[in-house]
Amino acid sequence: MSLLEVRDLHTSFFTPAGEVKAVNGLSFSLEKGKVLGIVGESGSGKSVTAYSILQILTHPGRIVSGSIRFHGEELVGKSDEEMRKIRGNKISIIFQDPMTSLNPTFTIGNQLCEAIEMHTDRNREQSRARAVEMLKLVGISEPEKRLKQYAYELSGGMRQRVMIAMALACEPDILIADEPTTALDVTIQAQILELMMKLQKELGMAIMMITHDMGVIASVCDEVIVMYAGGVCERGTTDAIFYNPRHEYTRGLMRSIPDMSDDEKTPLIPITGTPIDLLHMPPGCPFAPRCEQAMKICLQEKPKEYWVGRDHLSACWMNVKDGICCTERPEEEES
């Protein structure tokens, strides 16, 4: 049994202009102690996936159908009361912008202790001790002093450390990191990623890393899901996705990032066109209008996910055409 199992998830926002299918038939599973990366452009539905798991979608968004199982227990349809026991306790989240996700009118200590008191039976004093312990764990100097400070008194990297401390205070099984380093500088990003990986090994939790940065994916993830327009293009182990991409969108993404080791300045090959309008989804593959290899069937019918390797699934008609995929998981890894 997987730690987290998402099956055919559909989440939509019902706007006055029409239904926006932000997540459109997403399936994946997350195993204990693994780091799963979700990569995609803005509007691909990666954050909405995270919010759906925790059910923190704001109006007019809601889960339309699908199943989210955590330890085999169905989360879709749970009441707010029941979800509150899971959020911040069993599944935690850290957001992109550490400034707006901390309350500016309360001290750091106040906010940290609140989370601990809420989910454990520690009293004020014990939770304070736990807060100090957590701040030490995430590498914040003078933790006692920091507890009395407000968010504005800390730097961006420091705030993100506080967020991580808060998220990990109850020893969650899953940590969802929604673009945790996008707002930070490269040297601080390296610090935070290193810290997250260290804690992941120490505490044995699973991480869902949502990012648009292929570099971050390559350096920390075991498995990757590539999303486009609310659906999965391709998913598999990090090596399979990077060295053997089986979807035109993934290939396009790889070609459009500058290569640091290239001294010849080879021109980039961008993906043509503009991202899809989620209000007007085409009937076929959502990437087909921008895909250079698009065939007739791509425009008419949405491709299903097929196995293209032992740990590698792809939703692209090209694989079907070339006959390099199967409906059953193959026994041996293809070379």
Residue closer to another protein by CB (options 126, 219) is 219
- CA gap 163, 108 in Å, rounded: 10
Q: Report the distance separating Cα 300 and Cα 304, nearest Å.
A: 13
Residue span 72-111 as binding mask against another protein, x where in contact by CB under 8 A, dash where not: ----------------------------------------
Q: How far is the CB of 110 from another protein (least distance, A)?
A: 23
Residue numbers 309-328 binding another protein by CB under 8 A: none
Interface region with another protein, contact rule CB under 8 A, candidates 6-14, 21-29, 154-162, 299-307: 154-162
- Find the distance separating the first CA and the last CA of the chain, reported in whole Å: 28
Q: Does 41 bind another protein (CB under 8 A)?
A: yes
* Contact set for another protein, span 261-290 (CB under 8 A): 261-263, 265, 267-272, 274-275
Q: Which of 1, 16, 42, 152 binds another protein (CB under 8 A)?
A: 42
User: Would you say 90 or 290 has its CB closer to another protein?
Assistant: 290
How far apart are CB 151 and another protein at their closest, in Å?
A: 15
**By CB under 8 A, what part of segment 211-240 binds another protein?**
212-219, 238-239
Strand order in the sheet with 4-15: 18-30, 4-15, 61-70, 73-74
CB neighbourhood size of 285 (10 A):
28
- Tell me the backbone φ, ψ of residue 176, rounded to 5 degrees: -95, 125
Residue 104's alpha-carbon distances to 98, 107, 181, 335, in angstroms, are: 11, 8, 20, 54
* 155/300 with CB nearer another protein: 155
Nearer to another protein by Cβ, of 116 and 241: the residue is 241
Q: Cβ 157 to another protein, closest distance in Å?
A: 6
Per CB under 8 A, the list member of 56, 190, 279, 326 interacting with another protein is 190
Nearest-angstrom CA–CA distance, 70 and 290:
36
User: In the bound complex, what is the minimum distance in angstroms from residue 267's beta carbon to another protein?
Assistant: 6
Of 75 and 193, the one with the shorter C-beta distance to another protein is 193
3-state class of 38 per DSSP? strand
Residue 10 or 212 having the CB closest to another protein: 212
Please report how close the Cβ of residue 179 comes to another protein at its closest, in angstroms.
13
Could you tell me which of 39, 40, 49, 45 has the C-alpha nearest to residue 4? 49
Interstrand relation of 35-39 and 223-228 (parallel, antiparallel or unpaired): parallel
The packing angle between helices 108-119 and 124-137, to 10°, is 110
| 61-69, 84-92, 185-193, 306-314 -> range binding another protein (CB under 8 A) | 185-193
- Residue closer to another protein by CB (options 120, 244) is 244
The structure tokens 């409906």 sit at 327
Total residues in contact with another protein, by rule CB under 8 A: 48
CA distances from 281 to 8, 22, 308 (A): 18, 11, 26
What is the rounded CA–CA span in Å between residue 311 and residue 332?
Answer: 10
Of 244-263, which residues contact another protein (CB under 8 A)? 252-263
Q: How many CB atoms lie within 10 A of CB 102?
A: 20
CA distance 298 to 317: 7
Closer residue to another protein (CB): 72 or 243: 243
Amino acid at 173: D
Residue 37 half-sphere exposure toward CB, CA atoms < 13 A: 24
User: 82 or 142, CB closer to another protein?
Assistant: 142
- Residues forming the site for another protein (CB under 8 A): 41-42, 155-158, 185-191, 193-194, 212-219, 238-239, 242-243, 252-263, 265, 267-272, 274-275
